[in-house]
């Protein structure tokens, strides 16, 4: 078995009611939980990422000083050890094998930019376990899901986006991200969850 599941940023600040909540975020969290209950044994590795920003500065310009441009600067979100940074309550993380924190003082979109509490990188985890295939789910399709999937492709993995287990900020940018990922070699598929 050489398949991994990446669960990208299914956090309170990215689901409905959060600082940067996306429509459908809570439903995606619940659907990922259903997928895990049915398919956790299909994966050699299940990695869940979280933005984990510092609350006392701008995290390398990631937090806006004034009005955010929603491209490079954002409202304050996912500050370490706050409710906004925690996983959405509909996401059952019992099957997760590795938790990754990213954006600790710097902008970070890809799950590959984070590390586990033990300091392991995602690239090293994949290599150590001989993982070739990666399924990607989570939030948001047009930002962190996109960046994580592109990095997985760049690391030589075969990538499948489970399109019913992602939600994005906007329809047009999410559709563009999925088209870009398909063009880059990712498979677009539904989970059946």
Among all residues, which ones are annotated catalytic?
9, 102, 144
Strands across the sheet containing 98-102: 98-102, 45-51, 3-8, 133-139, 158-167, 187-189
Q: Is-contact 174 28, C-beta < 8 A?
A: no
CA nearest neighbour of 139 among 53, 52, 40, 24: 24
Please state, in angstroms and rounded to a whole number, the distance separating the CA atoms of residues 176 and 39: 28
**DSSP characters for 159-193?**
EEEEEEEEE-S-HHHHHHHHHHHHHHT-EEE----
């Amino acid at each position: 078995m050489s398949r991994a599941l990446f669960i990208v940023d299914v956090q309170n600040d990215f689901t409905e009611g959060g600082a940067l909540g996306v429509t459908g975020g809570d439903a995606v969290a619940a659907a990922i939980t259903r997928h895990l209950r049915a398919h956790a044994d299909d994966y050699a590795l299940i990695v869940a990422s979280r933005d984990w920003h510092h609350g006392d500065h701008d995290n390398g310009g990631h937090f806006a000083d004034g009005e955010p441009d929603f491209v490079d600067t954002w409202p304050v979100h996912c500050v370490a050890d706050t409710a906004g940074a925690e996983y959405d309550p509909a996401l059952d993380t019992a099957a997760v094998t590795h938790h990754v924190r990213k954006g600790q003082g710097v902008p970070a979109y890809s799950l590959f930019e984070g590390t586990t509490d033990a300091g392991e990188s995602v690239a090293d985890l994949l290599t150590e376990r001989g993982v070739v295939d990666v399924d990607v789910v989570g939030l948001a399709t047009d930002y962190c899901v996109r960046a994580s999937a592109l990095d997985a492709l760049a690391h030589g993995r075969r990538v499948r986006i489970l399109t019913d287990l992602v939600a994005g900020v906007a329809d047009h940018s999410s559709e563009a991200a999925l088209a870009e990922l398909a063009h880059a070699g990712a498979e677009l598929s539904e989970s059946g969850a």
